Chain A
Amino acid sequence: MRIRIRRKRQKIQKLFLFTSTVYLCFLLFAALGSSYLTPHNPTTQNLDQRFLPPLTGGRILGTDDLGRDVWSRIVYGTRSLLIIGTVSVAIALTGGLLMGILSGAVGGIVDSFIMLLMDGILSFPTVLLAITVVSVLGYGLVQVTVALGIVFIPVFARLVRAETKSRLTEGYVESSRALGTPFPLILLRHVLPNMMPDLIAQSTVTFALVVVIEASLSFLGLGTQPPEPSWGLMLKESRNFLYQAPWMAIFPGIALAATVFSFNYLGDYLSEQLNPQR
């Protein structure tokens, strides 16, 4: 009985995993080859074709309040989404690695200072902090990307610091040190590779968070500037037409939810699989 349940669970897990991976591959494809997926330009307005419901007039997902194709806007929206996600995770990862290793390896007053700074950043609600950074840097795609990168540095920094500290006390590191291996090499050979699984998992989960916050910022009008397509902006624009054209909100909403779910699921799975201790 138990085995059966376990098998069933594994089956569902595999199905989820498969779907998530396929969906994310599809996103990547949509971003790289947007024009293959849709014949319509995402910013072209057709004021005589406003509020077309899905599956009418050759529009799979209908049109919005300015007669723009909803499907095209979702497809093209993946570009800014993936760019913002990748770049800001890269910023957060790099920044976090530097801070974390410095903090963990040097210790002492440097450690205290960096961690104080990181805790300071962490104590702000993420969205609020992102809004503050964007207000200082100005509205737009680049600013939002940098803002989100900065906001997530502490998460990585804390993770890296903890890993560095614990690895440095392990037997194999100490013996390597006793053999006279230079310290930087120890970090590169023994410490870094061992924290890779955690970093990959954390990156994936952070990616999902970045996607949500980018959408929130665009919803507030701080992120992607109109008429460029962005899911958050689409949701913002749909808010006034919920009764009249619910599809304007439903489809970008589904796309966003599915993306976040897939990244989170994949992140959890990776952290389970890659971590040998669990």
Chain B
Amino acid sequence: MKPMKFIFTVVLFSLLVPTLAFARGAKEQQPVRIALSGNPDTLDPQKTAGTLTFQVIKSLYDTLIEPDPKGNLVPALAERWEFRDEGKQILFYLRKGVTFHDGTPLTSKDVASTLRRIQDKNTGSPQAAEYSLIKGIETPDPLTVVLNLSSPSAPLLATLASGWSAILPAHLIEAGHDFGSKPVGTGPFKFKSWIRDNQILLEKNPSYWMPGKPRVQGVEFRIITERSIQVQGLLSGQLDVIDMYDAIDLPLLQKNPQVKVEKVLTSLVMVLAMNTSRPPLTDLRVRQAINFAIHKQEVLDVAYGGGIPVGTFMDASDPFYVDFTSLYPYNPEKAKQLLREAGVGTDQPLEMVLPQNYEPHVRAGQIYQEMLQRVGLSVKIRLVDWSTWISDVYRKANYDLTVIGHTGKLDPDSRLSNYGTDKTYVRWIHPEAASLITRARQTTHVEERKALYSRVLEIMAKEVPFVFVGTSYRYIGTRKSIEGFRIQPKLDAYDFRDVEVR
């Protein structure tokens, strides 16, 4: 019996070992699998405003310049750039030897056609306005692009580093190619297939301009809308990367030794917005009282999965951020006193309109309601769907209080433009702030801009058209074997160029 058993074991093992080896080999050939929380509307970079699209196309296309992880602009397809004519002209010098996925080399013509396409009304880009100050595009030689601007603009560089400015091949633009479903770019991965509502498959671009990158064979975006299913997918090894906006499932993920979770700051500013055109919120004392009544860290921890309080309208990780959190610490007694001075009590109920599809905001809203009730304000909650929120609250300012998160862009101007005028949903009017914001937009000198913006942020922090609650965290869950995955928070783009499978 014994020798029989021995032989049996040996046979079994000899069968098993190659299988294991094969399994490992197969694993390295596998693409990195990441969960995507919905189906992108298109993969054409110019025709969308959707986050989902930008999460995917960062791997397919490149821009002239791009942000590094800290948000500084660094060379990409352009090796270097310079301002001329007091900022009214920008020169870009393109990198040599870059090719598109179809093999054609990148030239200045491609850049010119790309920018003309996004300016063209027929393209119908939601972002076209940001490019309107480019009055002329010249291509003196195949590797130089000259942009002539109607006025100096600091935010334009950031615009050119955002996903909308992805460079497309000129010959396909002329041919009317459908970039939306068959993207062709210079990016680290080539488009392979897209099964709607199921998956998007990309494969390695072997002739990418960054030497040695990408390091994995491909990327597979799995479209999974339900968060709990994404979490289960990561735990069971069906997924390699998931991206979460709250910390609810953290304990579950931390228990699994095969999974690691990284906490990164988002570029969001979570706010309790106040309609400053409606009494009693027209009274600065009432807005201050509301600020004193809110325990910001507690709201961040309970509703938003943790975060850092901010005291003004800029996210905590932005280079332009200035700390004003000491202005309005949690102080309910002070709040009560200010409300007494203003003569406001429970007899003037405020209506808080909440977007019901964003559960964290609904949760935060209930906490605010309770905190405000404790200092003697009565608040009534009304849930609305997202389209009603956009039309009623954001456009028509038909509300007293509302709860939302403001996303950040690469340039502070996109967050701050229009504030101080009656065009924003808080209806906060402050001519000085508005003119400072306009001046900062037209200055290309970084230090000067910083000074102007810090003055704007100080005014907003003192005048409090919002309760600036804080910047929340997001959580990236990956399998232990995955290294090097990054998110550029300002662009909300996934970067797989440095990803390695161990």
Sort chain A's interface into a size bin.
Answer: 10 to 19
Q: Which residues of chain B come closer than 8 Å to A226, judged between CB atoms? A: 362, 365-366, 381, 383
- Known contacts being A66-B363, A226-B381, is A47 close to B249, with CB within 8 Å? no
Q: Does A26 contact B (CB under 8 A)?
A: no
- Which of A161-169, A173-181, A188-196, A238-246 lies at the interface with chain B? A238-246
Say how far A7's CB is from chain B's closest CB, in angstroms.
Answer: 49
Q: Does A54 contact B (CB under 8 A)?
A: no
Q: Which residues of chain A come closer than 8 Å to B248, judged between CB atoms? A: 240-241, 244
Q: Could you list 11 A-B pairs, sorted by A, with CB under 8 Å?
A: A45-B367, A66-B367, A139-B382, A139-B384, A221-B383, A225-B382, A226-B362, A226-B383, A227-B366, A240-B227, A244-B248
Interface SS majority for chain B: helix
A→B interface (CB under 8 Å): 43-45, 47, 50, 65-66, 139, 221, 225-227, 237, 240-244
Say how far A87's CB is from chain B's closest CB, in angstroms.
Answer: 21
**Contact of B359 (CB < 8 Å), options: A44, A225, A227, A240:** A240
Q: Would A45 and B363 count as touching, CB distance under 8 A? A: no
Q: Would B366 and A50 count as touching, CB distance under 8 A? A: no
Q: Which residues of chain A come closer than 8 Å to B41, judged between CB atoms? A: none
Q: Which 8 A-B pairs have the closest CB atoms?
A: A221-B356, A45-B370, A227-B366, A221-B383, A243-B252, A240-B248, A226-B366, A225-B381
**Contact of A44 (CB < 8 Å), options: B298, B370, B381:** B370
**Contact of A47 (CB < 8 Å), options: B246, B367, B385:** B367
Q: Would A227 and B302 count as touching, CB distance under 8 A? A: no
Q: Which residues of chain B come closer than 8 Å to A44, judged between CB atoms? A: 370
Interface string of B355-378 (1 = CB under 8 A from A): 011010011011101100000000
**Contact of B302 (CB < 8 Å), options: A43, A66, A242:** A66
CA distance A158 to B384 in the complex (A): 36
Closest to B384 in A: A139
Q: Which residues of chain B come closer than 8 Å to A242, judged between CB atoms? A: 228
CA distance A66 to B364 in the complex (A): 10
CA distance A44 to B367 in the complex (A): 10
Q: Does B176 contact A (CB under 8 A)?
A: no
Q: Would B369 and A227 count as touching, CB distance under 8 A? A: yes
Closest to A221 in B: B356
Say how far B224's CB is from chain A's closest CB, in angstroms.
Answer: 16
Q: Would B249 and A243 count as touching, CB distance under 8 A? A: yes
Q: Would A244 and B366 count as touching, CB distance under 8 A? A: no
Q: Does B251 contact A (CB under 8 A)?
A: yes
Interface string of B173-194 (1 = CB under 8 A from A): 0000000000000000000000
Apart from A66-B367, A221-B383, A244-B248, list 18 A-B contacts with CB within 8 A.
A45-B366, A47-B302, A50-B302, A65-B302, A65-B363, A66-B366, A66-B370, A139-B383, A221-B356, A221-B362, A225-B381, A227-B366, A227-B369, A227-B370, A240-B359, A241-B248, A243-B251, A243-B252
